[in-house]
Amino acid sequence: MIIEQSKMQSLAARMSKDEVKGRSPWADARKRFFRNKAAMAGLIILILVGLFAIFGNSFAVWSNEELDFNVMGQVTTMGMPSLENGHYFGTDDLGRDLYSRTVQGTQISLMVGIVGAAIAVIVGTLYGATAGYFGGRTDQLMMRAVDILMSIPYMFVLILLLVMFGRSMSMLFLGIGLISWLDMSRIVRGQTLSLKNREFIEAARATGVPGWKIIIRHIVPNLLGVVAVYATLLVPLMILTESFISFLGLGVQEPLTSWGALISEGAGTINYGTLWQLAFPLFFFCITLFGFFFVGDGLRDALDPKER
């Protein structure tokens, strides 16, 4: 009888611990995210695309710059996908292997999307948190500057930067990131206004903690949920922007390539019956965008306080 009571007590203790763990906001958000089938499908897609970008070259027979003279200029017949000659995705009109070029395009497009989103998130978060925390005239001046910048077409600014300072990869990263932080700053400012009068912020201010330390140590960490959701939605926007720029011929330059450049090349030769030149990069482009959108939508639902 005593043994059974001890077992019941231990079982009740474990159940109480599980209930305490289940009441954690982050644990609840994680469970809701994993229950979201669309979000999990998007996460699996992004993992597979990431593995393709990292390990895809290990299976390539031809390099992205190597020319196959046997198929050069014969895109309607010998340039078709073939396992025998190692051109899994076929070749372009110059005889370059489309598989290895798609791998490189995936690497560059993902890099532009992630790096550009990271720059936008860092700049926008710090700018918006600073404006919202200090308020008053500082907030008015900073947000009026944001309003002025948002009135300028960002694509025009990006094209102007690339034309004036050169079409290098670093300028592409910097240009895309620096014109995409405006919306993030406004979102973060609004969240900061609701946080700065909370008790823990007042306590830190009363103990003499400088304003910049309060922003870094207290406000920004409490905005990570909102920032994470917006960042997952910002990455596909960066990829779309880079693809559009590359489609216009202002993005990455040869011998480098990206999804936008490959789609532009495929669209230019589609009248010759070379559908594979457009289909493969467009397929990776579309599924990656859907993956990021599904994950971002799942994070938004998981972190929504109304769902708790």
Interatomic CA distance for residues 99 and 239, integer angstroms: 20
pLDDT, tens digit, 9 for 90 and up, residues 218-266: 888 888 878 888 888 888 888 888 888 887 777 777 778 888 888 888 8
Residue 79 tokens read as: 């340039």
At residue 54, the pLDDT reads 93
Residue labelled with tokens 């996908």? 81
Say if residue 63's pLDDT is above 80. yes
Strands (E), the chain: none
pLDDT over 90 percentage in the chain: 16
- Give me the DSSP letters along 186-232: HHHHHHHHHHTTSHHHHHHHHTT--HHHHIIIIIGGGGHHHHHHHHH
pLDDT in tens, 149-195: 888 887 787 888 777 777 777 777 777 777 788 888 998 998 888 88
Mean per-residue pLDDT of the chain? 80
pLDDT at 21 over 90: no
Per-residue confidence band for 48, with pLDDT thresholds at 50, 70 and 90: very high
Among 306, 268, 305, 281, which Cα is nearest to 99's? 281
Residues 6+ positions from 229 with CB-CB distance below 8 Å: 296, 299, 300, 303
Per the DSSP assignment, residues forming a β-bridge with 91 are: 97
pLDDT tens-place string over residues 109-140:
898 888 888 888 899 999 999 998 888 898 89
Residue 20 has pLDDT above 50, yes or no: no
- Angle separating helix axes 224-247 and 259-269, nearest 10 degrees: 40
What pLDDT sits at residue 158?
A: 80
* CA–CA gap between residue 230 and residue 238 (Å, rounded): 12
Q: Report the DSSP beta bridge partners of residue 96.
A: 67
Give per-residue pLDDT as tens, 80-117. 666 667 778 888 877 788 899 999 999 998 988 888 88
Q: What percent of the chain has pLDDT over 70?
A: 85
Query: Helix (H, G, I), strand (E, B), or coil: what is residue 274?
Result: coil
Give the model's pLDDT for residue 66: 81
The string of pLDDT tens digits covering residues 208-226 is 888 888 888 888 888 887 8
What six digits make up the tokens of 259? 């999804």
Helix (H, G, I), strand (E, B) or coil at 78: coil
Residue 287 has pLDDT above 90, yes or no: yes
